[in-house]
């Protein structure tokens, strides 16, 4: 029987293990639970589908990285750490980032990034800071950053995560950058 505290992580590890030999679209919830010895209901007690599991893994890990490091150095370093996480699981994320559609990881990656930037500015500088121009710049920046991460993954990750983090931070629109320096 699975330990309640570890259930989500065990399910993620099962999916990651399966993704090493099988494309994500070919992996079912039955495959995931069978691989780790859980029941289907256990899975559905935590996630609505495998995409929800993928997104939880990314979001919870990145949220933890950001929370731990956001006030300890340059923003480029924090971005580099999140990209290092993607690099650590490069085969998995390379597999899931290619998925298309509304429930895709690519869309969830973008939404998570956009939400973070918006909430960071709101909580540290107030609602008034979120002008139409800044909201546009946040969306623009997030599209660019997520697309560049996808391109980096697809092209074999030749540059180290720290270099990509610095490039993404440097490419941030000035109107947004001032909130993260």
Question: The domain spanning residue 8 has which CATH number?
Answer: 1.10.10
Q: Contact 34/15 with Cβ under 8 angstroms?
A: no
Mark whether 36 and 81 lie in a shared domain. no
* pLDDT for position 3: 55
For the chain, residues with pLDDT lower than 70 are 1-5, 101-102
Q: Which domain covers residue 22, as residue numbers?
A: 4-46
d(CA 166, CA 171): 9
Phi-psi label, residue 136: left if phi above 0, alpha if psi -120 to 50, beta otherwise? alpha
Q: Considering its fold, how many domains does the chain have in total? A: 2
pLDDT of residue 1: 47
Structure tokens at 13: 């590890």
Residues 25 and 98: beta-carbon distance below 8 Å:
no
What is the rounded CA–CA span in Å between residue 175 and residue 165? 19
Same-domain pairing of 30 and 85? no
Residues 58, 144: one domain? yes
Distance CA 77, CA 167 (A): 11
DSSP-based three-state secondary structure for 155: coil
> Does 11 share its domain with 37?
yes
User: What is d(CA 108, CA 81) in angstroms, rounded to the nearest whole number?
Assistant: 19
Residues 24 and 39 in one domain: yes
26: left (phi over 0), alpha (psi -120 to 50) or beta: alpha
């Amino acid at each position: 029987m699975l330990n309640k505290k570890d259930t989500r992580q065990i399910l993620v590890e099962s999916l990651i293990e399966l993704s090493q030999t099988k494309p994500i679209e070919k992996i079912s919830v039955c495959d995931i639970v069978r691989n780790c010895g859980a029941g289907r209901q256990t899975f559905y007690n935590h996630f609505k589908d495998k995409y929800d599991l993928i997104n939880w893994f990314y979001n919870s890990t990145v949220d933890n990285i950001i929370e731990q490091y956001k006030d300890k150095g340059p923003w480029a370093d924090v971005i580099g750490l999140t990209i290092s996480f993607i690099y650590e699981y490069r085969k998995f994320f390379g597999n899931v980032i290619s998925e298309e559609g509304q429930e895709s990881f690519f869309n969830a990656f973008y939404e998570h990034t956009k939400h973070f930037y918006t909430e960071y500015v709101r909580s540290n500088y107030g609602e008034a800071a979120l002008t139409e121009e800044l909201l546009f710049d946040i969306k623009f920046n997030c599209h660019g950053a997520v697309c560049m991460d996808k391109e980096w993954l697809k092209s074999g990750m030749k540059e180290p995560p720290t270099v990509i983090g610095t490039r993404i931070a440097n490419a941030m629109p000035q109107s947004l950058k001032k909130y993260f320096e």
